Structure 1
Amino acid sequence: DGFILTERLGSGTYATVYKAYAKKDTREVVAIKCVAKKSLNKASVENLLTEIEILKGIRHPHIVQLKDFQWDSDNIYLIMEFCAGGDLSRFIHTRRILPEKVARVFMQQLASALQFLHERNISHLDLKPQNILLSSLEKPHLKLADFGFAQHMSPWDEKHVLRGSPLYMAPEMVCQRQYDARVDLWSVGVILYEALFGQPPFASRSFLELEEKIRSNRVIELPLRPPLSRDCRDLLQRLLERDPSRRISFQDFFAHPWVDLEHMPSGESLARASALVVEAVKKDQEGDAATALSLYCKALDFFVPALHYEVDAQRKEAIKAKVGQYVSRAEELKAIVSSSNKALLRQGTSARDLLREMARDKPRLLAALEVASAAMAKEEEANGEQDALDLYQHSLGELLLLLAAEPPGRRRELLHTEVQNLMARAEYLKEQVKMRESRWEGETLDKEGLSESVRSSCTLQ
C-alpha cells in the first residue's frame, strides 16, 4: 500500500527487488524487496526475520536503510533505501579494475560500516560485491546491503552452518570447520583483490576447481601488475590469510594505515583540522618549529577529507584559500627543521667516530652503526626518504637492544646520545613519508584543483 512498483532490479533465492515510488506528494523513490510467503521454508523465515530485526535498528551512511516493512496474504515487503548506482560487482566489471585510490575510498566506506556492525556484535557472513550497492554513479557511496545471513555474533561465537557465496567464503567456512566473525575479514580481502586485479583470487571454471583452490594450503600470491603501494599489499596479504588465528584482527584492520579510518571524509574533518591549526599557530609563535610543522602536517591531512566532504562551493573555496596559507608556512618550517636536524647529525660526527672506535670489539654494535650511516647517505638521494626510514628503523631496533644491555660508562653515554639523534631524524622522516603517501598526491588533489606546491607541501626535499 502507498507505493507504485516499476522496473525489476533483481532477484535472489526467495525475493525479487523492484524500484518503486511513493504515491504521496513526495514521490520518494525506494527499492521494495518482495518475498513470496509460499517460497519460504523455516530457514528462509529465520533469515528474513533476522534481516528485519537487524536493519530496523541500524542507521549508518554506508548501510542500506530499511524504511518500513509490510505484508499481505501472499508477500512480505521490505521497503528499502533506493541505490541508483547498481552494485559494486557491475561497477568493477564495467571498469575492469579500479585504481588503488578509488578502491581505498570504497574500502574506507566498507570498513566504516563493518566497524559500526562489529561494535554491535553483528557479522554479515555474506560479504561480496553483489551485496554492496552504490548510491549513484556520479558520486558513488558504498551501501552495505542484504543482511539475510547476518548474525548477532560475538568474536568468540563459533558456527558450523555454511553461509555465503563460495568465491568470497573464508576457507574455514568452506571446509566446514568452526568459524567466527573473522570470516568477514577474509571476504573483505577477496573483494579488495577483485577490485584491484579484476577477478577474485580463486576464480575457477568449476565448483570442484574452486573447492580445491580454497582447501589448498598455498599462500595467495599477489600479481605484480598493477603496481600497488606497500601498505595496500600488506593489508591484502593480512586479510587473505587462510589461518583465521593469523588473519588480521578487526581492530588492526580498522586502524591499518591504508584503510586510515581516522582521515575518512566526515562532518568532523574540518573541525579536527581547525583544532590542529590552532595548536600549530601557537607552537609556531613560541618558536617551536618542529612541533609546529608536525601539527600543520597533521592538520593538512584532515583538510583533504574536509574538502571531499564539503558540498557548498563557497565554503570549499574558503577552505582551499586557508589551506594555501598553511601550506606556505609548512614549507618554510620544513626548511628550518630539516636544516636543524641535519646540522645536529653533522655536529655528532666526531662523537659518532669515537663511538665506532669504541665498538671495535662489538661487531653487532658496529654493524648497527653502519646501517645508520647508510640511512644518512640514503637521505641525500632523490626520493630516498622511505629507504632511509627503513634503514633508520632497522638500526634503531638493534641499537635500543644494545643500549639496554650496555653497562654504565663513556660508551653508553655516546650510544644514548646517538640513539636520541637517530630517533629524532627517523620520526621527522616518518612524518614526511606519511605525508608524501597521503592524499596530497595524484588524483585526489587534481580533482580538488590544488596547486603543485600543496601536493608537495609536506614531503621531504
Structure 2
Amino acid sequence: MAGPGWAPPRLDGFILTERLGSGTYATVYKAYRKRDTREVVAIKCVSKRSLNQASVENLLTEIEILKTIRHPHIVELKDFQWDSDHIYLIMEFCAGGDLSRFIRMRRILPEKVARVFLQQLACALKFLHDHNISHLDLKPKNILLSAPENPQLKLAEALFGRPPFASRSFAELEEKIRSDRAVELPSRPPLSPECRDLLGQLLERDPGKRISFERFFAHPFVDMEHVPGPESLCKGTNLVVEAVKKDQEGDASAALSLYCKALEYFVPALHYETDARRKEAIRAKVGQYISRAEELKALVTSSNKNLLQQGNPARELLKEMAKDKPRLCTALEMASAAIAKEEEGKDDGDTLELYQQSLGELLLLLAAEPAGRRRELLHTEIQTLMARAEYLKDQIKMREAQSMGKEALAESVRSACTLQ
C-alpha cells in the first residue's frame, strides 16, 4: 500500500482498491465491478505520459494478442478502456500473487510441486508457440497463481529458490553468463535424473546446443502426456482393459506394468474432474487398481529374484580378465556397486543412475574390445546389467505410480471432507 495522500485512478464501472504492484510504465490495482456479481478483477493502469511511440505500439500489440487468446494457464484480458490520462487493461485477478513471492515464502519447492508448475507453464508455452507468439520476458515475477491454496499457474527456477546466474552486479552477471564453466546445481533438494537432465539442457549457454521447443515439450520430466485433461480418464480406462486381459492370461508382469501406466492417467483425471459423484467413482476405481497392482507386484518381485542372481560367476571371471584394463575395472566396480546397493534394498534413482553410468562406459569399451573370450563375457555382462537396470527402472516407475495414486486418493478424501 502507498502512504498517506495516495489514491488510485477513477474508472467508470469499477472500484479500485489496493495496489498489487508497479513497474516502469504501469501500476496494477485490485478492483471490483460496481454492479452485477461484484466480480474481482486486476486493472493495469498505464500512464499515457510514460509512453513513447514504440511503447504505444507494444501496448497495442499486447492488447491485440491478449484479446484473441484464451487458455487456462494464461491470464485473461477481459476488456480495456482509456481516458485522458491512462489506458486501463481489465484482467483476470489472481489471488495467489506471483511465483517469485511464492518461491520466496517457501525458499525451496519440492520437485513434484515444481513439476506441476512446469507442466502448466509448458501447456501455456505450447499454446503460444502453436500460435506463433513469443513471451520474451519469462520470469517468476511475471507468472501469477490463481489462489493461495492449490494454485493454478497463470503464465518460471523454482526448485532452488534462486536463479542459476544470481549475481551482485551486472559485471558479475555478465562474467557468469559468458563463462564456459558448467552450471553447478545445488545439492538440495535431491533431483530425479529426468529433472537434472532437463535443467542441464535448459541451462546450456550455447543456443545451438540448448534444448529446442520441440524436445522440451517431449521431455519425460515435462511429461505433457500426463497433464490433467478431458482425455485422461479415457486413456486410463483403455489401459485398465488391457491390464485385466493380461491379468486373466496369467501375465502378471505385463498386467502390473499396464495397471501402473493406467494410474498415471487416473491421477490427473482425479485432479481434472470437478463433479463430486464422478470424482468419487474415479477414486473408488483407483483404490481397486492400486490393491491389484500391489498383489501383482509381490508376484513379479518373487519371480524376478532369479534375475537378480544371474551373472555372478561370469562377472568374477571378467574382473580377473580385466586387471590390465584400469578403465574396464573401474566400470565393472561401478556396476558391482549398483548391484550391491540394489540387493541392500536401495532400489532408487541413485542406484539406477549408477547402472546407467557403468553401462555407458561399458558400451564404449565393448566397441573397442577385440574379438575373444573377454569380449564375449563383456557382452553377456552388459546384457545382464541392462536387464537389471530395466527391471529397476520398472520398479521405480511402478512405485511412483502407486504412490501418486495413494497421494491423490488421500488428497481427494481430504477435499471431500472439507466440503462436507
Q: Deviations over 1:360-413 (max 9, x none)?
A: 899799997887666554432112354554455456554698499998x99999
C-alpha contact (below 8 Å) 2:290/2:405 kept by paired residues? no
Secondary structure of 2:240's partner? helix
Q: Is the 8 A contact 2:236 2:263 kept in 1?
A: yes
**Any stretches of 5+ residues in structure 1 without a counterpart?**
145-187, 451-461
CA separation in 2, counterparts of 1:129 and 1:353? 51
1: CA distance, partners of 2:73 / 2:210: 25
C-alpha change, 1:209 and 1:411, in structure 2 (3 Å) is: closer
* Cross-structure match for 1:432: 395
- The 5 Å alignment of 1:56-455 reads 56-144=67-155, 188=156, 192=157, 195-343=158-306, 375-386=338-349, 388-390=351-353, 392-393=355-356, 398=362, 402=366, 423-437=386-400, 440=403, 444=407, 448=411
Tell whether 2:5 aligns with 1:42. Answer: no
| One-letter identity of the residue aligned with 1:383 | K
Task: Quote the offset at 1:295 in angstroms.
Answer: 0.6
Cα offset, 1:44, TM superposition: 0.3
Match of 2:14 among 4, 9, 15: 4
The 3 A distance-change label for structure 1 pair 317 and 226 is: same
CA–CA distance in structure 1, aligned partners of residues 197 and 292 of structure 2: 34
Residue 22 (1) aligns with residue 33 (2) = yes
What amino acid is the match of 1:55?
Answer: L
Deviation at 1:64, TM superposition (A): 0.5
For the structure 1 residues 304 and 414, does the alpha-carbon distance in structure 2 shift closer, same or farther, using more than 3 Å as the test?
same
Counterpart contact for 2:79–2:91, Cα < 8 Å = yes
Whole-angstrom CA distance in 2 between matches of 1:99 and 1:63: 23
Q: Which TM-score applies when normalising by structure 2?
A: 0.79
Give 3-state SS (helix, strand or coil) of 2:304's partner. helix
Question: Is the CA contact (8 Å cut-off) linking 2:318 and 2:377 kept in structure 1?
Answer: no
Q: CA separation of 1:388/1:21 partners in 2, compared to 1, >3 Å: closer, same or farther?
A: closer
Matched to 1:432, the amino acid is Q
Task: Report the residue type matching 1:196 in the other structure.
Answer: L
Give 1:278 deviation, angstroms: 1.2
- After superposition, the Cα gap between the structure-2 partners of 1:334 and 1:117, relative to the gap in structure 1 and judged at 3 Å, is same
Name the residue aligned to 2:417. Answer: none
**Contact map agreement 1:2 1:22 (CA 8 A) in 2:** no
- Seen in structure 2, the aligned counterparts of structure 1 residues 395 and 4 have a Cα distance that, compared at 3 Å, is closer
The CA deviation at 1:448 is 1.9
Task: Tell me, in whole angstroms, the C-alpha distance in 1 between the residues paired with 2:42 and 2:351.
Answer: 54
User: CA 1:404–1:317 in structure 2 vs 1: closer, same or farther (change >3 Å)?
Assistant: farther
**C-alpha contact 1:117 1:123 (8 A) present in aligned 2:** yes
SS where residue 35 of structure 1 aligns? strand
Counterpart code for 2:89: L
Residue identity over aligned pairs, in percent, reads 73
Structure 2 CA distance, aligned partners of 1:340 and 1:103?
A: 37
Equivalent residues of 1:400, 1:419 under 8 A apart = no
- Per-residue deviation, 1:202: 3.6
Amino acid at match of 1:245: G
What is the distance in 2 between the residues matched to 1:304 and 1:33? 37
Q: Partners of 1:21 and 1:337 in 2: how far apart?
A: 59
Partner SS state of residue 9, structure 1: strand
Question: Can you list the C-alpha shifts for 1:113-158, whole angstroms capped at 9, x where unaligned?
Answer: 11221222322111122211111112311111xxxxxxxxxxxxxx
Counterpart CA distance in 2 for 1:254 and 1:117 is 13
Cα distance between partner residues in 1 of 2:117 and 2:137: 18
Question: Gaps spanning 5+ residues in structure 2: where?
Answer: 1-10, 414-420
The reply on whether 1:51 has 2:62 as its aligned counterpart is: yes
For 2:54 and 2:332, locate their aligned partners in 1 and report how far apart those are by CA, in whole Å: 65
The separation in 2 between residues aligned to 1:260 and 1:287, in whole angstroms, is: 31
> Structure 1 residues 373, 131: closer, same or farther in 2, change over 3 A?
closer
Partner SS, residue 123 of structure 1: coil
Look up the match of 1:453: none
Paired residues, number? 400
Tell me the amino acid that sits aligned with residue 117 of structure 2: F
Q: Match for 1:265: what amino acid?
A: P
**CA spacing shift, 1:270–1:412, aligned 2, 3 Å:** same
Provide closer, same or farther for how the CA distance between residues 316 and 415 of structure 1 changes in structure 2, counting only shifts above 3 A. Answer: same
1:329–1:430 CA distance, 2 compared to 1 (3 A): same
Identify if the C-alpha distance between structure 1 residues 442 and 72 changes in structure 2 by more than 3 Å, giving closer, same or farther: same
